[in-house]
């Protein structure tokens, strides 16, 4: 079994409500050694249908911002806090986030990214374990212990926020550019200034 398969959950019914409603478990995608790991909240309807995180309109916004920063979707890894779609797109419950945390930690530990970008309030608060104002803190980095190591987490607004509020577009694109710069991947690296 390859490393990618090791990071995939094939069967799980820890969250009865989600296991009952989902079409499939949506695992992370992208290189298992990616420098940049995006963490979203959980699958929506499109993701549940296609079996991949951040497809549909949010995925297009993310792809566009990555391209602007000199990256392709295939360069980064994308996963979620919960791997099964909550019914009617409700937020995942605390117990569901806790149930799925082991899989997320395992993925973070294996990928060992330079930067973890949390896309929206739920993943930001889940990984930083505090209240987060995503608009005010977007692009800021925080060192926090995850899966036994101190890791760099960068807060981001959710890509869908740019669809409802155009003023969030620059915030989102700026965050992705900053994350790319930190990894030295996309455009100009600013590693020298750190």
Residues making contact with ligand SF4 (CB under 6 A) = 9, 12-15, 18-19, 25, 82-84, 96, 99-100, 103
Q: Roughly what angle, to the nearest 10 degrees, separates helices 56-68 and 167-183?
A: 60
Q: Which is nearer to ligand SF4, 57 or 106 (CB)?
A: 106
Please say whether the beta carbons of 41 and 62 come within 8 A.
no
CA–CA separation, 177 vs 1, rounded Å? 35
* Shortest Å distance, C-beta 121 to ligand SF4: 18
* Shortest Å distance, C-beta 122 to ligand SF4: 13
* Shortest Å distance, C-beta 145 to ligand SF4: 21
Within 8 A by CB and 6+ apart from 50, the residues are: none
Q: Which is nearer to ligand SF4, 75 or 107 (CB)?
A: 107
* Shortest Å distance, C-beta 91 to ligand SF4: 13
Q: Which residues pair with 143 in a beta bridge?
A: 152
CA–CA separation, 165 vs 170, rounded Å? 11
Q: Which is nearer to ligand SF4, 82 or 154 (CB)?
A: 82
* Shortest Å distance, C-beta 25 to ligand SF4: 5
DSSP string, 119-164: ESHHHHHHHHTS---HHHHTT-EEEEEETTEEEEEEEE--TTHHHH
Tokens of 110: 């294996």
Q: Which is nearer to ligand SF4, 100 or 146 (CB)?
A: 100
Q: Which is nearer to ligand SF4, 96 or 137 (CB)?
A: 96
């Amino acid at each position: 079994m390859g490393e990618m398969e090791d990071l995939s959950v094939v069967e799980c019914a820890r969250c009865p409500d989600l296991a009952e409603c989902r079409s499939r478990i949506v695992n992370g995608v992208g290189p298992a050694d990616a420098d940049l790991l995006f963490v979203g909240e959980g699958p929506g309807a499109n993701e549940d249908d296609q079996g991949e995180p951040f497809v549909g309109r949010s995925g297009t916004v993310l792809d566009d911002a990555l391209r602007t920063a000199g990256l392709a979707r295939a360069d980064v890894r994308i996963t979620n806090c919960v791997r099964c779609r909550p019914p009617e797109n409700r937020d995942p419950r605390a117990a569901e986030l806790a149930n799925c945390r082991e899989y997320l930690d395992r993925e973070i530990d294996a990928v060992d990214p330079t930067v973890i970008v949390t896309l929206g309030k739920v993943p930001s608060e889940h990984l930083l374990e505090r209240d987060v104002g995503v608009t005010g803190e977007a692009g800021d980095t925080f060192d926090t212990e995850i899966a036994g190591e101190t890791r760099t987490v960068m807060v981001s607004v959710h890509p869908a926020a740019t669809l409802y509020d155009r003023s969030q577009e620059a915030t989102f694109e700026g965050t992705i550019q900053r994350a790319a710069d930190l990894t030295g991947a996309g455009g100009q690296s600013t590693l020298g200034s750190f």
